[in-house]
Structure 1
Amino acid sequence: MDAPHLGIVTISEGFGVDRTTERLVKAALVDDPAIRAVYSIGGGNRAILRAFAEEKRPIDVFAAHDLDADNRPLLAEGHLTFVIHHDLRQDARSACQMVMAHHRMLPKDFQVAPSRVAIATPYEVF
């Protein structure tokens, strides 16, 4: 591990629901005063921000997933450090191509393109 002094706290089962997510994050913040960064793979990012604000805790880095209607304004306002975005249509197309290739429905030399991933920051114009 490159940073043995850092720990990870997993918060799950919020299901992207604000009320549940906020409650779980607040409990984690109370239990661990060292939490200063967030990697959110689901929804509820406004609830996460509220939990940190109510506990008067800083967020040094807030990484989120999907450049959607919820995360765009949070990113533009500087509440998110960056957003990991991938093209769901391309992911679905690639999955279908993999199934077709498995069943030999595509040419033998066909190559399934890897998923493209983009990183959006507050400094980019949307």
Structure 2
Amino acid sequence: MATELKMPQMGYDMEEGTVVRWLKEEGSAVNRNEAVAEIETDKAIVEFESDSEGVLLKIIAPEGTVVPVGQTIAVIGDEGEETDNISILDLRPPEEGKSDPTKNATPPTEPQESTPALSVTKEASE
């Protein structure tokens, strides 16, 4: 029987995560507790481990997809098993620029020269 891998809640206030990278391809054998994907939360990128073993039958959430906690991201089962009954509820592509925070970053500016301050001792002696 096919098992759905769901977006885990990796923190108390986590509502969604982004699939950064799949470490396995469709058709690959997967062992229990083996890392199958990298998931980005608002605080870190974490390896997501499978809670079952079998063959990665279908990747539902491609790399870069933002997925709500509890939503199916992939299906593991026996080779040749059908996955048509898996529902895709709420997947959305990444926000512009979110996947690479340095892509649109403004380069640092050169320090500006400033007018030197008047010497306090010189003014006080006059």
TM over 0.5: no
- In which range does the TM-score fall when normalised by the shorter chain? under 0.3
Question: Which structure has the highest strand share of the two?
Answer: 2
TM value normalised by structure 2: 0.25
Question: Which structure has the highest helix share of the two?
Answer: 1
TM value normalised by structure 1: 0.25
